[in-house]
Every structure is written in structure tokens, then in C-alpha cells.
Amino acid sequence: MDIKIEYDGTYPSLCSGKLVVTINGKRWDFPPYCLVSGGSVWFDEEGQEHVESGAWTVSDWPEGFLVGQRAAVVDAINAHIPMGCCGGCV
């Protein structure tokens, strides 16, 4: 399967980009804000922030997207897009 990832999200808000996935020549335009970071932000007792990056998941898929292709697409997304932290905006 030939998967190409196009994504224009940038730091500090990687999660707000436009995602386009092309599989074997077929283009799929994903809904806005469909990427969810596996990272997190937390604050310690002194109020210092801690930002942790994590792998992406997809919360919303284009209509008609084959379930059997989803895992391979998520793998390609994580190989192509820097891992997010869900806190770049902090």
C-alpha cells in the first residue's frame, strides 16, 4: 500500500493543520481537527509545566474510509508528523 501524508500543522499547534492522505493514488481529505495528540501537559507543586509528546490518533475519518486501512494510515501519520504534546499552546 502506497501512503502519502500531507499536513500543514506547525508548532505550537500541530493538532490544527489540514490532513490529506493519498493511498494508492486516491486522495482523502480529513475533517478539521481530526488529529489527537497522545501527549499531555501537567503542572507540579511549584507550578512548573511539564510537556510530554506522544503518538497521534485520528478522531474523525472521512466518510467511506476503509476500516482495514486505518492502522496503516495512523502508522504513516506518526512516521511523518512530529509527535504532539497537547500543550504547545500553553
Domain segments of the chain as ranges: 3-80
Please give the Cα distance from 30 to 73 (Å, whole number). 12
CA distances from 55 to 8, 80, 86 (A): 17, 11, 11
Annotate 45-62 with DSSP letters as a single string: TT--EEEE-B-EEES---
Cα dihedral 45/47/50/56 (nearest 10): 110
Please give the Cα distance from 14 to 39 (Å, whole number). 12
pLDDT tens digits, one per residue of 14-67: 778 899 999 999 999 999 999 998 888 888 999 898 888 889 999 999 999 999
- For residue 89, pLDDT over 70 is answered with no
Please tell me the pTM assigned to this model: 0.85
Please give the Cα distance from 33 to 89 (Å, whole number). 15
Which pLDDT belongs to residue 46? 94
